[in-house]
Amino acid sequence: MSVHPLDTLVPKPRLLSARSGELTLRSPVGVAAAGDAEAVADLLRAELSRSTALRFESAPPETAQIVLQVERANDEQYRLAVDPRRATLSGSAVGLVHAFYTLRQLLPTANWRSAPLPGVTWTLPACLIEDQPRFGWRGCMLDVARHFVPKQTILRFIDLLAMHHFNRLHLHLSDDQGWRVEIKAFPRLATVASHRKQTGLGFATSAADPHDGTPHGGYYTQEDLREIVAYAGARAILVIPEIDLPGHSRALTAAYPEFGCFPDKKVEVSTYFGVSSDLVNPLPRTVAALKRILEELLAIFPSPWIHLGGDEAPLDPWRNSPEIQAHLASLGLENVQALRSWFTAQLSTFLSERGRRLIGWDEIIHYGGLPPESTVMSWRGEKGGMKAAAAGYDVVMAPVFPTYLDYAQDDGCDEPLSIGQSVLLEDLYAYDPAARWPDSSTFPQVLGVQCQLWSEVILDSAHLEYMAFPRACALAEVGWSADCDDFGAFRVRLAQHLQRLQAYGVNYRPLEGPQPWQRGGTGRKAYQPRFNLKEALAHIDAWAESGEPPAEHLSG
């Protein structure tokens, strides 16, 4: 039984209606575009000529089969009207990108392949779609620090995000286990901090845990990152870089011990996971160096937001360093908590003076003194976001449950390696950040939602795609669609949509469970969740009242 293409769209459009007839595209396909629409026309030609073998040529609007019209300024709304004569896409330049990806979903599934198949007729159903997103921030965080993600995998992942109308790619570029961005002023970040001797098996939290004995690493040159930014930008996706400070900085201090809390202490890039006590120090020499690093970062990433982490930073190293304590006293501050606020303010002011905004995990709000233009990403449940919104800060909702996609997709032992049990597809689809919001007057501070792909236990590109899809499809609809279906109806649409991922070659998890070759087995990818999610959520909820991680969270 055939399914009408309008009944397979993910995410679900705001308004759609079928019309009689269809539009068949035949070479040469006339494309009309002018001004800002030209870039979208270039994207259309590049993507569709490869998979359809159709030839696309410029044509006047009155004879073109595809017409691209810029009719709005800066929002993401679009209108897609198809009749037997032409398809007309209208909206802002960004809206046209979303219209194009909806048009691709209306075409036969084979248009997601990389080469044309014989015998395909390229038809579009006559219809009218008027669409706009619920939230302006629909993001995905990709951790490339714990396990390096090759550039080509990131470019492919951007295509998958664009397919689902995501508009933010948050790159976690530094952590204890690796530094991934070339900084010309500090070359040892590439030669030393970008690689580790080996990697702990599973979620190893000490050097004594079993390791694999295999070196691991990699970094992106500045030109690599500019390429990623440009590729994403053409697909209406903003790339937001993250350098995590002051915690999660062991790779940085391994390369430059003078930026650590105890310069005589030599450390190596961490081979295991968890929360490290190897913070950067807040001394003038280090703050100046961090600003030089940020200068180079700003030259690569045009994003208005620069993410500076701020999570999981145990402050005892600052308490125990005589040099840091002397600096604290010279500033007239009372304690390291006040010093933490001072440190954050130094970097936030630096960004603000250059027209950028600090964004950080929700710990950054805990000690006060956060500049008003800052944005808070709420990960320890929803309390941090509620507190930040009440204080007037913009907020991105990214709570562990249900937006952390490093948790298993099911509690069955056939699942591959994950960090914990389990975030189900229906958990993602049921998420509504407004549902438990205590004060509706502050909810407009919520910019949107974001899913997280932390990579301690995501070992390669196939594993990454498995953990992301189809759960990211569900969050895409939560972020985009103001009126979501019930889960059963979404699942029916998703079953059809997965044929597009199949054509694109995505290693997604089927709805009925993993394929035999996707199972964890008994080797390195064996299912061994470290965290019971319900217990972890209770712990995280209590932790949200503190700016520092509990002592039992520190890695060995």
Asked if pLDDT for residue 551 goes beyond 90, the answer is no
Cα angle at 193 between 189 and 194, to 5 degrees? Answer: 95
Supply the CATH classification number for the domain 137-553. 3.20.20.80
pLDDT computed for residue 369 by the predictor: 85
Query: What would the pLDDT profile of 299-318 be if each residue is shown by its tens digit?
Result: 999 999 999 999 999 999 99
pLDDT for position 357: 98
pLDDT digits (tens, 9 = 90+) for 7-33: 999 999 999 999 999 999 999 999 999
Each residue's pLDDT tens digit, 69-103:
999 777 999 999 999 999 999 999 999 999 999 99
Contact between 360 and 348 (Cβ < 8 Å): no
5-131 domain in CATH 3.30.70.120? no
Active site residue 362: no
Whole-model pTM over 0.95: yes
Domain boundaries, the chain: 5-131, 137-553
Q: What is the pLDDT of residues 468-511, one digit of tens each?
A: 999 999 999 999 999 888 999 999 999 999 999 999 999 999 99
> What's the confidence (pLDDT) of residue 555?
85
Q: Is 312 a catalytic residue?
A: yes
Catalytic residue among 170, 195, 248, 497: 248
424/430 Cα distance (integer angstroms):
10
Which candidate, 443, 495, 483, places its Cα nearest to that of 131?
A: 483
Candidate from 144-153, 219-228, 434-443, 531-540 with smallest mean pLDDT: 531-540
pLDDT at 483: 87
* Averaged pLDDT, 126-131: 98
Question: Is pLDDT of 223 > 90?
Answer: yes
Whether residue 153 is predicted with pLDDT greater than 90 in this model: the reply is yes
Give the pLDDT confidence score for residue 271 in this predicted structure.
98
The reported pLDDT for the residue numbered 510 is 98
Residue whose C-alpha is closest to residue 426's, from 449, 446, 447, 409: 409
Give me the pLDDT at residue 534, please: 80
Residue 392 pLDDT greater than 80, yes or no: yes
Q: DSSP string covering 47-113, please?
A: HHHHHH---EEE--TTT-SEEEEE--SSS--EEEEE-SS-EEEEESHHHHHHHHHHHHHHS-GGGGS
Round to whole Å and give the CA distance between 499 and 497.
5
Q: What is the pLDDT of residue 2?
A: 75
- 528 pLDDT band, cuts 50/70/90, is confident
Average pLDDT, the chain: 96
| Cβ atoms of 88 and 69 closer than 8 Å | yes
Q: Which of 176, 312, 406, 456 is catalytic?
A: 312
* Predicted pLDDT of residue 544: 85
The pairing of beta strand 174-175 with beta strand 66-70? unpaired
**What pLDDT, on a 0 to 100 scale, did the predictor assign at position 1?**
60
Q: What is the arithmetic mean of pLDDT over 287-291?
A: 98
The one catalytic residue among 47, 76, 131, 175: 175
Number of Cβ within a 10 Å radius of residue 174: 27
- pLDDT value for 546: 87
Query: Which residue bears the tokens 């055939």?
Result: 2
- Sign of the dihedral defined by the CA atoms of residues 166, 172, 177, 181, in that order: positive
pLDDT at residue 37, rounded to an integer: 97
pLDDT range class, residue 530, cuts 50, 70, 90: confident
- Which residues make beta-bridge pairs with 180? none
Q: Which residues partner with 174 through β-bridges?
A: 179
CA dist., res. 182 & res. 226, Å (int): 12
